[in-house]
Amino acid sequence: MASCFNTTASTSLALSSPSSSSASVKHDKYLSRRQLGLPQTQKTRFGVSAQLRKRFQVKSSNGYPLSVVSSQDGLTKKSPTKEHAQNGPVDEVVHFSGPTQTETTVSITVVGASGDLAKKKIFPALFALFYEGFLSEHFTIFGYARSKLTDEELREMISRTLTCRIDNRENCEAKMDQFLQRCFFHSGQYGSEADFMELDKKLREKEVGRLPNRLFYLSIPPNIFIDVVRCASQSASSPSGWTRIIVEKPFGRDSESSGELTRCLKQYLTEDQIFRIDHYLGKELVENLSVLRFSNLVFEPLWSRQYIRNVQLIFSEDFGTEGRGGYFDSYGIIRDIMQNHLLQILALFAMETPVSLDAEDIRNEKVKVLRSMRPLQLDDVVVGQYKGHTKGGRTYPAYTDDPTVPKNSLTPTFAAAALFIDNARWDGVPFLMKAGKALHNKGAEIRVQFRHVPGNLYKRSFGTDLEKSTNELVIRVQPDEAIYLKINNKIPGLGMRLDRSTLNLLYSSKYTKEIPDAYERLLLDAIEGERRLFIRSDELDAAWALFTPLLKELEQKKIAPELYPYGSRGPVGAHYLAAKYNVRWGDLSS
């Protein structure tokens, strides 16, 4: 078996912490305050308040009470979770530490703290959670990176990206100071167990007297994921609480490398400890998709080939790969957006009704629908790459003008694809995906085009374009989150002319509360042990199985992308592809 990248450590399964399975709350049976709609009390976020514990008999998911936790030097036990059933048994070490430490604390270590994602998203999300009272009274945040920063320098760096964006802006400055005082920095190498041991020492100092839970966020390039997981699990995992690791994409480049990454991660972690993040799953409207489907009688009965003509999943950015060309060139838009963000949305859109809202039930349904899909065919894909363009006296660069991108790069910055689900519900319905950078606008949408009304009595009143008379449901993920339905109605007056109108749920009009950033929701879920919005390894395998043959073919055949000007609507090929299936792309602005 191949070794795990550049790691040299043993492949022991020993974990010095309980898997999160041993200390997390099962969310279908044991609901969190957030899910119950109860107000948050700072004391109870990570641990479970005595009150709640009594009320819902909170137990770890392996059936032990929460005071029973595992540690490296404890007893070894086979854990019979569903995931283990799929991937073979995993040794889990369980230590009965006694019911003493009732106060919990959580330490969040952002590995790669000096990087773009940490500054842009992770620290601001943690601050927002703190501001809104979602972090427990006792928490510590550590930044970890090779850069040599002091605690003060880290705080200074973070403070530049924190915003008081929350509607209740009172005491924001004071809150920021309080938050920053809980942030520390540890400089270390990513593959050094000694450096992680030092981190462990610092964490223990902060955690003293409380049941310590630890979350590591891998905000680093993928080639060092395993080094960090090895060091963190062997030298800095929680001695008596849970240890969880959030892994950022990319999860490999294809089926093989993704499988290898999973295998390597599982040398050090159980599946329950791995939180593979896809931040699109944390977006408000993506979460709302299931609510829309399963709690409104009017939609679910229409949710099939019988009434739906096609579904479009559209992602568009009005800027190029500026600053991330180096990363992007080895991945391209299909891996960057389609194989994960858009496919995840598709799975939630098309899955059957899950048995419950439990993470495993939802993820089981997602896997089923992904496995019912046909792998992508080259004939059903169009690729493009943006070229330089001058408009209004301003010059926009070509993708290959980026100094970190090879001049002859064939990496697509745009792709459109037709996908099919070969099951009873969706047989023959094209699911069209379109994703591109440097296009004319920015947004992400799901568009559902319904079939024509059979034998429509008002056919003549629509004018020439009958196409326009079909109903369309649009779920606008961003910006200006909205759900709207296009319907036909009579224009008031004595004649009989029909018009097309929109029933519009525009979030900013209906709700005054600002929508939280996806990273806030996902971080909070990881802290609470809620896995519903994270990708399970079999989901990932199913997703890669759909895209890998196509990606290989594109690379082997050196398919040249169709060039499109920066700021345009993308390659015309996308329109031919849609026309092949009798589809007209919806317009993000309509």
Ligand X SMILES: NC(=O)C1=CN([C@@H]2O[C@H](COP(=O)(O)OP(=O)(O)OC[C@H]3O[C@@H](n4cnc5c(N)ncnc54)[C@H](OP(=O)(O)O)[C@@H]3O)[C@@H](O)[C@H]2O)C=CC1
Binding site for ligand X (CB under 6 A): 112, 114-118, 145-147, 190, 219-222, 224, 248-250, 327
Minimal CA–CA distance to 274: which of 239, 229, 305?
229
Q: Which of the 8 DSSP states describes residue 467? A: G
219 binds, among ligand X, ligand LXAUTJHC, none (CB under 5 to 8 A by kind): ligand X
Question: Which lies closer to ligand LXAUTJHC via its Cβ, residue 249 or residue 309?
Answer: 249
18 binds, among ligand X, ligand LXAUTJHC, none (CB under 5 to 8 A by kind): none
Question: Which lies closer to ligand X via its Cβ, residue 145 or residue 398?
Answer: 145
112 binds, among ligand LXAUTJHC, ligand X, none (CB under 5 to 8 A by kind): ligand X
Question: For 397, phi and psi rounded to 5 degrees?
Answer: -75, 155
Instruction: Count residues binding ligand LXAUTJHC (CB under 6 A).
Output: 3
116 binds, among ligand X, ligand LXAUTJHC, none (CB under 5 to 8 A by kind): ligand X
Question: Which lies closer to ligand X via its Cβ, residue 519 or residue 566?
Answer: 519
| β-bridge mates for residue 418, sequence order | 432
336 binds, among ligand X, ligand LXAUTJHC, none (CB under 5 to 8 A by kind): ligand LXAUTJHC
Minimal CA–CA distance to 275: which of 521, 82, 529?
529
Cβ neighbour number for residue 315 with a 10 Å cutoff: 26
Q: Could you tell me the CA-to-CA distances from 574 to 380, 550, 584 in Å, in that order?
A: 10, 17, 10
| β-bridge mates for residue 476, sequence order | 445, 482
Q: How far is the CB of 42 from ligand X (least distance, A)?
A: 29
Question: Which lies closer to ligand X via its Cβ, residue 195 or residue 207?
Answer: 195
Question: Which lies closer to ligand LXAUTJHC via its Cβ, residue 110 or residue 211?
Answer: 110
77 binds, among ligand LXAUTJHC, ligand X, none (CB under 5 to 8 A by kind): none
Question: Which lies closer to ligand X via its Cβ, residue 305 or residue 324?
Answer: 324
For every residue of 289-341, which 3-state class applies, written as one string? HHHHHHCCCCCHHHCCCCCEEEEEEEEECCCCCCCCHHHHHCCHHHHHHHHHH
Q: How far is the CB of 203 from ligand LXAUTJHC (least distance, A)?
A: 29
Q: How far is the CB of 250 from ligand X (least distance, A)?
A: 6
CA distance 113 to 161: 13
Question: Which lies closer to ligand X via its Cβ, residue 402 or residue 472?
Answer: 402
Q: Which residue is nearest to ligand X (CB)?
A: 115
Question: Exposed (0-12), middle (13-18) or buried (19+): which is 507, by Cβ within 10 Å?
Answer: middle
Query: What is the torsional sign of CA 229, 234, 236, 237?
Result: positive
Radius of gyration of the chain (CA): 25
CB 103 within 8 A of CB 122: no
Question: For 506, phi and psi rounded to 5 degrees?
Answer: -95, 120
Asked if 402 interacts with ligand LXAUTJHC (CB under 6 A), we say no
Q: How far is the CB of 156 from ligand LXAUTJHC (least distance, A)?
A: 26
Torsion, Cα 223 227 230 236, to 10 degrees, reads -120
480: left (phi over 0), alpha (psi -120 to 50) or beta: left
For every residue of 184-202, which 3-state class applies, written as one string? EEEECCCCCHHHHHHHHHH
Question: Which lies closer to ligand X via its Cβ, residue 224 or residue 432?
Answer: 224
Q: How far is the CB of 20 from ligand LXAUTJHC (least distance, A)?
A: 24
Instruction: Write down the H helix ranges in 91-141.
Output: 116-117, 123-131
The crossing angle, in degrees rounded to 10, of helices 172-181 and 123-131 is 120
- Give the pairing type, strands 183-187 and 139-145: parallel
Q: How far is the CB of 483 from ligand X (least distance, A)?
A: 26
Question: For 559, phi and psi rounded to 5 degrees?
Answer: -65, 125
CB 571 within 8 A of CB 384: yes
Q: How far is the CB of 111 from ligand LXAUTJHC (least distance, A)?
A: 18
Give me the residue label for tokens 């191949």.
2
Q: How far is the CB of 147 from ligand X (least distance, A)?
A: 3
Contacts of 29 (CB under 8 A, 6+ apart): 56
95 binds, among ligand LXAUTJHC, ligand X, none (CB under 5 to 8 A by kind): none
Question: Which lies closer to ligand LXAUTJHC via its Cβ, residue 58 or residue 337?
Answer: 337
Q: How far is the CB of 147 from ligand LXAUTJHC (least distance, A)?
A: 22
Catalytic (active site) residue 575: no
Q: How far is the CB of 540 from ligand LXAUTJHC (least distance, A)?
A: 15
Question: Which lies closer to ligand X via its Cβ, residue 220 or residue 343?
Answer: 220
CB 43 within 8 A of CB 136: yes
The pair of three-digit structure tokens given for residue 321, joined into one six-digit string: 């790969």
507 binds, among ligand X, ligand LXAUTJHC, none (CB under 5 to 8 A by kind): none
Per CB under 6 A, contacts with ligand LXAUTJHC among 288-327 are 317
Question: Which lies closer to ligand X via its Cβ, residue 182 or residue 279?
Answer: 279
220 binds, among ligand LXAUTJHC, ligand X, none (CB under 5 to 8 A by kind): ligand X
| 58-70 per-residue burial string, b: 16 or more CB within 10 A, e: under 16 | bbbbbebebbbbb
271 binds, among ligand X, ligand LXAUTJHC, none (CB under 5 to 8 A by kind): none
Q: How far is the CB of 551 from ligand LXAUTJHC (least distance, A)?
A: 16
Q: Could you tell me the CA-to-CA distances from 390 to 126, 276, 357, 397 in Å, in that order?
A: 40, 40, 50, 9
Per-residue binding string, ligand LXAUTJHC, 247-286, x by CB under 6 A, is --------------------------------x-------
CB 120 within 8 A of CB 155: no
Q: Which of 207, 271, 272, 336 binds ligand LXAUTJHC (CB under 6 A)?
A: 336
Check 95, 138, 341, 452 and give the catalytic one. 341
The one-letter amino acid code at 199 reads L
CA distance 91 to 93: 7
472 binds, among ligand LXAUTJHC, ligand X, none (CB under 5 to 8 A by kind): none
Q: Which residue is nearest to ligand LXAUTJHC (CB)?
A: 336
Residues carrying an active site annotation: 341
Interface residue list for ligand LXAUTJHC (CB under 6 A): 279, 317, 336
